[in-house]
């Protein structure tokens, strides 16, 4: 007689759940981060003017590295990894810094190589920082990490809305079809999440995205698939494909199997450049703070507890070491993905086996490009319909962290100033335009960095014993 398999709950960290469920939950995470994982690669390789063949190799390697480093976070090797459902991927936080390096050094392989070498050095620096995180833990109480998590969520909401409208780099941004698709996906997720039970509820994000694919397919058969606009430079009428259209040519053009390239562009001494090393290493400090915030949000939102010293240290070490390893494959720095933190906060699914299936799928995408192409062709509005809710969930997790010990005058002051001034500076970079460029590169863009720094300073400066005064 065959022994019956005893399964764990998907809401438990460890244990085995049915493979079918694990695949569904894992794919949710892949869908949530796939575009975000590739976007930095596309932007920075474009800024460095790399040729299409080399760009495709780096994209392939980026998917492979994301999967392998996620597995390292989940299963750990010694002190490396948090043994938490942390999904890793190419960091968008480095886009501003790397773009600045490209504008300073000029285009070409040497510039991109300098960015990658700096990423290797910065990754090692963050790895060392991770080993000393325990004595630094007192600088990251729930009040500070909660504020950072809120800043992370707030910075991503605009990204989600941008995707919801179809992407502001597309000429049909904010068109009715894009808004319709985003709304259908969002409504589908809400209905499944709150009006159904079982797998349909817990896998609502994935199902919502699949529905989005179907809706786009149907729209492609009954609506015009192109739009026209006047090119401001040439004043000529240009015809382009609508951003919501499913581009199956990406799947057709992709190869079935490809071996990832090690050091795809080689190395030369000209790639060792302080103009890249200094700003990128500084950015790794910021990444460490963000990873601490993400890790705290996962344990708070998914496990209803604070992260341990070992978990925080392991996540940061993996963050840094993973980035250094990724550099050997020409991949930009990897970090924890806040999109997936929002997904965990929303679904409460923390099972490591489920998350690891998603990581394995990323590895397969790195080996079998046709799989990657299926997800790569996802319209922005489909992703946006899911992202709006997921990113807002991160803000809620931050609020929970901040208010877990009550709300005092001290708490209100720290959060208000950190988000008001810190996040405000990051979101409105024009304010920093008269300051040195490196200040704008580090503090501008997302608002996470200044919010974190201000929260830490105020937490030290305002004594707890004077709250009542």
Q: Helices (H), strands (E): how many in the chain?
A: 20, 4
CB 48, CB 107: distance < 8 Å? yes
CA–CA dist 6, 95 (Å, integer): 46
CA distances from 464 to 135, 372, 459, 468 (A): 20, 51, 9, 9
Q: What percent of the chain is modeled with pLDDT above 70?
A: 93
In this predicted structure, what is the pLDDT of residue 467?
47
The mean pLDDT of 46-73, rounded to a whole number, is 86
Q: Tens of pLDDT along 373-394?
A: 777 677 889 888 887 887 787 7
Q: Name the phi and psi angles at 142, rounded to 5.
A: -60, -30
| pLDDT tens, position by position, 137-161 | 777 788 887 887 788 778 778 778 8
Both structure tokens of 372: 């990657």
- Pick the most confident of 36-50, 229-243, 450-464: 450-464
pLDDT band at 234 (very low <50, low <70, confident <90, very high): confident
Q: What is the pLDDT of residues 248-281, one digit of tens each?
A: 887 887 788 888 888 888 888 888 888 888 878 8
SS3 of residue 89 by DSSP: strand
Residue by residue, DSSP assigns 350-412 as --HHHHHHHHHHHHHHHH-HHHHHHHHT--HHHHHHHHHHHHHHHHHHHHHHHHTT---HHHH
> Mean of the pLDDT values across residues 416-435?
79
Question: From CA 364, how far away is CA 260, in angstroms rounded?
Answer: 11
Tokens 């010293």 found at: 309
Report the alpha-carbon distance of residue 51 to residue 265 in Å, rounded.
Answer: 11
The reported pLDDT for the residue numbered 80 is 95
Stronger pLDDT, 462 or 342, i.e. the higher one = 462
Q: Angle at which helices 448-461 and 274-303 pack, to 10 degrees?
A: 70
Q: For residue 262, what pLDDT is reported?
A: 85
Q: Token pair for residue 164?
A: 């919801």
DSSP state for residue 423 in the 8-state scheme: I
Strand partners, 335: 89
> So what's the pLDDT on residue 441?
60
CB 267 within 8 A of CB 113: yes
Q: Which candidate, 57, 89, 105, 60, places its Cα nearest to that of 280?
A: 105
Alpha helices in 87-175 (DSSP H): 95-105, 109-131, 133-136, 142-164
Between 50 and 331, the more confident residue is 331
CA distance linking residue 363 with residue 267, whole number of Å: 25
Q: What pLDDT, on a 0 to 100 scale, did the predictor assign at position 134?
A: 81
327 or 203, greater pLDDT:
327
Residue 48: predicted pLDDT: 83
Most confident of the following: 50-54, 220-224, 320-324: 320-324
Q: Check residue 163 and give its pLDDT.
A: 82
Is residue 51 scored above 80 in pLDDT?
no
pTM of the predicted model as reported, rounded to 2 decimal places:
0.74
Residue 385 CB partners (closer than 8 Å, separation 6+): 164, 181, 182, 183, 184, 185, 186, 188, 189, 208, 209, 212
Average pLDDT over residues 314-336: 94
Contact 83, 70 (CB under 8 A): no
Q: CA neighbours within 13 Å on the CB side: how many for 340?
A: 31
Span 151-201, pLDDT tens digits: 877 877 877 888 899 887 788 888 999 999 999 999 999 999 889 887 788
φ, ψ at 305 (rounded to 5°): -155, 165
Residue (of 130, 17, 117) closest to 80 by Cα position: 130
Is residue 224 a contact partner of residue 239, using CB atoms and an 8 Å limit?
Answer: no
Per-residue model confidence (pLDDT) at position 35: 66
Contact status, residue 418 vs residue 146, Cβ threshold 8 Å = no
Which letter, b or e, does each residue of 75-87 get, where b requires 16 or more Cβ atoms within 10 Å of its Cβ? Answer: ebeeebbbbbbbb
Give, to the nearest 10 degrees, the angle between helix 369-376 and helix 52-75: 90
Asked whether 53 and 61 are in contact (CB, 8 A), the reply is no
Mean pLDDT of 200-222: 88
Q: What is the pLDDT of residue 2?
A: 45
Residue 364's region, left for phi above 0, alpha for psi from -120 to 50, else beta, is alpha
Closest CA to 41 of 29, 57, 58, 25: 58
Give the pLDDT score at 38: 76
Averaged confidence pLDDT in the chain: 84
Average pLDDT over residues 433-456: 72
């Amino acid at each position: 007689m065959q022994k019956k398999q005893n399964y764990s709950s998907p809401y438990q960290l460890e244990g085995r759940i049915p493979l079918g469920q694990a695949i569904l939950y894992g794919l949710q995470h892949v869908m949530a981060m796939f575009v975000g994982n590739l976007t930095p690669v596309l932007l920075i390789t474009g800024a460095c003017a790399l040729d299409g063949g080399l760009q495709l190799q780096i994209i392939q390697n980026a998917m492979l590295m994301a999967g392998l480093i996620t597995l390292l976070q989940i299963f750990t090797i010694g002190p490396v990894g948090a043994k938490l459902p942390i999904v890793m991927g190419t960091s968008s936080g480095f886009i501003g810094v790397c773009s600045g390096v490209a504008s300073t050094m000029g285009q070409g392989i040497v510039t991109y190589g300098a960015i990658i070498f700096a990423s290797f050095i910065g990754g090692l620096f963050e790895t060392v920082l991770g080993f000393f995180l325990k004595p630094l833990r007192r600088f990251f109480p729930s009040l500070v990490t909660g504020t950072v998590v809120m800043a992370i969520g707030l910075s991503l909401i605009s990204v989600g809305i941008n995707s919801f409208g179809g992407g502001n780099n597309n000429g049909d941004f904010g068109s009715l079809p894009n808004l319709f698709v985003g709304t259908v996906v969002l409504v589908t997720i809400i209905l499944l999440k709150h009006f159904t039970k079982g797998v349909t509820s817990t896998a609502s994000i994935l199902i919502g995205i699949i529905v989005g694919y179907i809706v786009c397919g149907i729209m492609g058969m009954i609506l015009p698939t192109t739009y026209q606009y006047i090119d401001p430079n040439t004043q000529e009428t240009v015809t382009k494909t609508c951003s919501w259209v499913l581009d199956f040519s990406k799947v057709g053009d992709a190869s079935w199997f490809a071996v990832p390239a090690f050091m795809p562009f080689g190395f030369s001494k000209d790639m060792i450049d302080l103009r890249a090393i200094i700003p990128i290493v500084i950015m790794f400090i910021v990444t460490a703070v963000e990873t601490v915030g993400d890790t705290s949000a996962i344990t708070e939102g998914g496990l209803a507890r604070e992260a341990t010293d070992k978990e925080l240290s392991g996540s940061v070490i993996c963050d840094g070491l993973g980035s250094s390893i990724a550099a050997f494959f020409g991949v930009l720095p990897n970090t924890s993905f806040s999109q997936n933190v929002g997904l965990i906060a929303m679904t409460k699914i923390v099972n490591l086996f489920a998350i690891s299936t998603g990581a394995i799928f990323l590895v397969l995408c790195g080996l079998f490009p046709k799989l990657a192409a299926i997800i790569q062709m996802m319209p922005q509005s489909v992703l946006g319909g899911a992202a709006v809710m997921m990113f807002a969930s991160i803000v809620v997790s931050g609020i929970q962290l901040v208010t877990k010990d009550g709300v005092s005058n001290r708490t209100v002051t720290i959060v208000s100033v950190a988000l008001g001034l810190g996040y405000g500076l990051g979101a409105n970079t024009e304010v920093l335009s008269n300051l040195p460029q490196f200040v704008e590169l580090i503090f501008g863009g997302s608002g996470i960095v200044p919010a974190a720094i201000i929260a830490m300073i105020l937490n030290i400066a305002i004594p707890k014993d004077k709250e009542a005064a």
